[in-house]
Structures are given as C-alpha cells and as structure tokens.
Structure 1
Amino acid sequence: MLRVAILSDTHGCLDARVEALVATCDLAVHGGDIGNAEVLQRLRPRQGRVIAVIGNNDLPRKWPQEQAQVLDGLREHEDLMLPGGTLAVIHGHQLAAWNRHQRLRRRFPQARAIVYGHSHRLLADRDAEPWVLNPGAAGRARTFGGPSCIVLDAAEHRWSLRIERFEPLKCHGRSP
C-alpha cells in the first residue's frame, strides 16, 4: 500500500498541520496554486517524492523572482502511476466550473481518480468513475471551514480516502 497526501491551493502558505500530515505519507501531490518554492520544500513525505502541477496563480510575476525557475519544472497536468491505477492531477482552472466533474472524467478516462484544485472546495465525488477529488485549500486563503487535504491509501485492489479538515487559525495583527 502507498499512502498519498493530496493538497492544493496553498498560495504561499502551508498550514503546519497539513505539513505534519504530509510527513506521515509516502508521497505528496500538490494540485497547483503553490505560491512559492518554500511550500514545495516544506513538503517532506517519507519517500521524498512531491508531484505538483502549475495553477493559474503560479506565474513568474507572482512568485519571488529568485524562485520563478521552479515553475519551469511544473506541468499543466501529471499522470501518476500508483498501485491499482492512475491518479491524474490538474489544477482545474482550464475547465469551466459548470459540469466540471463530467469534463474531467471525459478528459482523463484512464484514471482511477482525478485530483483538481482551483475552487478551494473540499470534496470527494465517488458517484462515478473515475473519482473526482478536490482537497480544498491547504493554506490560509479561502479555506471554507479550515485548511484541508485528502489522504489516499492506494493498494493494488483497493483505494480508500481519508478527508482531513483542520480548524481555521485565528490571525491577530498582520501576516508574516
């Protein structure tokens, strides 16, 4: 079995509780709108492997200048081979919100599950195949109830999900 931490939409701020959860997983998947290279560096899964895709806010002009070269190594989507199937990862801004899940299923029919972000809305749509998963926002921006992520346990004959949502942290004064 392989344990995968799935997160998205950090926008330069990774919640420490999500970071700690990633450290208990074998690998990490980031669905875009990363925000800066430090977020990726702080993701330290047990096997050390982090797969990330580019989001609509992951633009050189929005990242610190000295970190913008990291964006060159990111793609619009990734297909990750896991025990029991393929996990497709895309940020989701490329598809209109209306009927997005059907559009994703048509675009990635070979996948067992599809991860997207962009909306910051935590959900796990298992009503049809492939599953459509949105881990919500793992930082401070528009978390809609608190920072969140999904843990996928992938085995050859069974995939299972654990939804993780943390209480929002109250900010007093200015952000660092």
Structure 2
Amino acid sequence: MRIALLADTHGQLDPRIAEQVARCDLAVHAGDIGNAGVLDQLRPRTGEVVAIRGNNDVPAKWPAGDRPVLEELPWETVLTLPGGDLAAVHGHQCAAAARRHRVLRRDHPDVRAVVYGHSHRLVCDDAAEPWVINPGAAGRSRTHGGPSFIMLIAGPRRWRLEPQRFPPLPRPGR
C-alpha cells in the first residue's frame, strides 16, 4: 500500500506533490491544511484522504464557506494499515522541538509510526520505535529547501519511507 504523508500546506498544495498523491492508495495530511480546497486537490487512487487539524486550522483562519469541513476534522487519529498502525498528530502540543520525538513516542507507544507536522522540516526518525516522521511542508511557506512529502510503502511485514523534496517554484509574478 502506498500512502502519501504530507503536512503544512497552509492553503497551497504544490502541484508536483498533488501529482504524486494521485499515484497513491491513501493520503494523510498532518495538519495546517489552510482550506478545504487543499483537501479537494488530494486525489489518491482510492479517493481516501485522512486529515487532522493543525494549530492554524481554526475557524478564524479558514474561509467561512470551508468551516463545515474544518469542524469535521479531528485533532489526531490512528489508522490501521498493513503491518501496523499509524498515528497522525500535528505536533504543536509539544512546544520544545528537542523533546518532541520523545514525547510523541511516549504518547503513542502502540503504533508503528507517528506522522506529525508543525515544524515544516522533513524528518525520518526510524532509529527507535515507533518511528517519528515529519513530511515537511507541502505548500509554499517555510519549505526549508523546497516542498516535500513522504511516501510510505506499507506491507504486512515491512514498511519503507521514501522522502521526496522538490525545488521551490518561482513565486507568481516574478
């Protein structure tokens, strides 16, 4: 099973990432979505998109017409995948970045991996269990070298992470 893990779009999904999501079975967005249009652009083969809220996914920051979609989004979730469970959280609840992975592992000891966002930094920490992974920013803001996401290949016995980063796109009008 191919799962696209992404986060921190803040209202703008990079079109190259949208193309990659179309080749997946499932898309998981770990928060700071920005608007319902981003979720509409995520079109995996099965049509299944799982998304959670981030600290910027609040009514005051979403378009009024999109707020019913926002109200349906949980703050975190756990998905059962081939070979184990995946927890999705945004990660803003743990303010100290230096402790974030330890806290996420402590809070989710029974999953195979935790995907989070918030920092906009691409990280694949598989040195301990559960894995703690951050797909970076899939939009235009604070991409730290370009928009990114992680392809998770989940099988009954083995999981594999394939981080992918694209060069930044030129800003419109430049």
TM-score, length-scaled by structure 1: 0.96
Aligned to 1:167: 167
Counterpart code for 2:18 = E
Counterpart code for 2:84 = G
Q: What SS does the corresponding residue of 1:93 show, helix, strand or coil?
A: coil
Aligned to 1:35: 34
Give the count of matched residue pairs: 173
In structure 2, distance between residues paired with 1:73 and 1:111: 24
Q: What SS does the corresponding residue of 2:78 show, helix, strand or coil?
A: strand
- 1:173 to partner: Cα distance: 2.7
Aligned to 2:100: 100
Aligned to 2:154: 154
Counterpart code for 1:69 = P
Q: What SS does the corresponding residue of 1:99 show, helix, strand or coil?
A: helix
Matched, 1:137 2:137: yes
Aligned to 1:7: 6
For structure 1, list consecutive stretches of 5 or more residues without a partner in the other structure. none
Aligned to 2:113: 113
In structure 1, distance between residues paired with 2:107 and 2:123: 19
Aligned to 2:50: 51
Aligned to 2:21: 22
- 1:172 to partner: Cα distance: 4.4
Q: What SS does the corresponding residue of 2:98 show, helix, strand or coil?
A: coil
In structure 1, distance between residues paired with 2:85 and 2:9: 24
In structure 2, distance between residues paired with 1:155 and 1:105: 22
Counterpart code for 2:142 = R
In structure 1, distance between residues paired with 2:73 and 2:66: 13
Runs of 4+ in 1 over 4 A off after TM superposition: none
**Root mean square deviation, CA, Å:** 0.9
In structure 1, distance between residues paired with 2:83 and 2:37: 32
Task: Please give the per-residue CA displacement for 1:30-65, whole angstroms capped at 9, x wherever unaligned.
Answer: 000000000000100011100000000001111110
Q: What SS does the corresponding residue of 2:140 show, helix, strand or coil?
A: coil
Counterpart code for 1:33 = D
Aligned to 2:88: 89
